[in-house]
Structure formats: structure tokens, C-alpha cells
Amino acid sequence: MKMISCLIVDDEPLALLLIEGYVNNTPFLELKGKCNNAFEALDFLSKEPVDLIFLDIQMPDLNGIDLSTKLNERTRVVFTTAFEEYAIKGYKVDALDYLLKPFNYDDFLTAALKAQKWFGLIDTPAETNERDEHDYIFVKSEYKQVKVFLADILYIEGLKDYVKIYLQNVSKPLLSLMSLKSLERDLPDDMFMRVHRSFIVGLKKINSIERNQIVINDVRITIAEPYRDIFHDYLAKKSIR
């Protein structure tokens, strides 16, 4: 099992002790350190980066919100605080979760599982092999960088300056400010193909082809004339004669 390395930052000794116990009871979490304040945490992280920080908000000099803005993109944060009014601020800086003190292990585990899902450590029934570090991209959406596994992309729709990325098991598409052409350059040719001015499809997600339409789940995407020869060449290589 892959482990999520984590750090606890809190100026309350009892809170540090409690969260340490919760971390040690969670099989996929690996505690790397504990810090009493934000400055100590910054020094620790400069020497040993971690995946996840359980971070108190109200601390002297430099609070948890300000500290979170100084972290690298990969490090995720679960805020812990006794003050409910900080929740909105916490989500504005893209926290994975917000734990209101006093919280129990069940609350803690819910937040930890969100982190596990973020780091892609949960296998789906149709996907039991570990995912390689090159199997995902980060897409900017709503002021945050969202991790998207290539294997989860059904198809992508271009809308002028935006794209909509449709993902399996997700009800709403991911909206991002970029061109379809620029995204196409970053996608592997063996997994994706442009079949229309406005559409890129996940080749492994195609359920059927009916005349000049690709069917993915309940969606029909027309194969436009300029792209038909390339697509039919691909189809011929995959067809049993």
C-alpha cells in the first residue's frame, strides 16, 4: 500500500498528541513530524516535504491560512481549528477538508480518506493496478489545480476559450480556461484522438461506432469529415476481420 506522508502543525500540545494518535491508527498515513508553530513547519518542510498537513489555523505570528499559501502545489492541507468562522477562508485556499475541534476519529478518517482519494490511492473495481505517476495531468479550474487521471477522461469538448472535460463517475464536467488545441498537445496519442473541431475522445472509452458517430455511454459524437480517415485507420488496426 502506498503511504501518504504527513505533518501535524498545532500550538496546542494536547491537539498534537490527539492527532498523532489518529494518524498512527490510520494504515495509509505515515507521520513524518510534528511542529508547534508555522515557522517550525516551514523549516521542517524545507528539509523534508510531505504530502499532507493537518494544520491548525489560529497560531501566533503566522497563522495556518497564511502558512498554507506558502506550500508547494503537491502538498495538501486539512485545517483543524476550534473556530467555525474560519471554514470559508479554509476552502478559499483549496483545503481538502476542515475539522472543527473537538473532532473524533470518525471525522478525522473522513478527511484522511479525501486525501487518499486525492492522491489516487484508491483503486476502482475496473482498475486494480497501481497508477503510474505519468498517468495524470493537473488542470486549472476555479482558481485551483485539479489532478485528473487520464484513464478517467471520457471525452473533452471545446467551447471557444474553454474546455469541458467529462470524467467517468463524475456528474459535472471539469471546466478550464484553455484551448482544445493546447490540451490536445499534452495528451498521449495512444489514448486520445481529435474527431471533431470541438471534440477529443478517450479511445478506450468508446462503446461503439455507428456510421460516423462515436458512442460513449449515452453521448453521441460526430466524426467530422477532416478527421474520418485518421479515425478509420485507427479503427481498422483494432478491428477483427
Taken in order of first residue, the domains within the chain and their CATH numbers are 4-118 (3.40.50.2300), 136-238 (2.40.50.1020)
Per the DSSP assignment, residues forming a β-bridge with 214 are 209, 221
Please say if the pLDDT value at position 121 is more than 60: no
First to last CA, the chain: 42
Question: pTM for this one?
Answer: 0.50
| Maximum average pLDDT range among 87-96, 144-153, 178-187, 191-200 | 191-200
Span of 65-79, 88-102, 177-191 with lowest mean pLDDT: 88-102
For residues 194, 199, 202 and 203, what is the CA-based torsion angle, rounded to 10 degrees? Answer: -50
Output the average pLDDT for the chain: 85
**234: alpha, beta or left? (left if phi > 0; alpha if psi -120 to 50):** alpha
Confidence of residue 122 (pLDDT cuts 50, 70, 90): very low
Q: What is the pLDDT of residues 3-40, one digit of tens each?
A: 899 999 999 999 999 999 999 999 889 999 999 999 99
Span of 6-20, 69-83, 85-99, 219-233 with lowest mean pLDDT: 85-99
* Cα R_g (the chain), whole angstroms: 22
- Measuring CA to CA, how many Å separate 106 from each of 26, 58, 91, 99? 11, 23, 21, 11
Please say if the pLDDT value at position 145 is more than 90: no
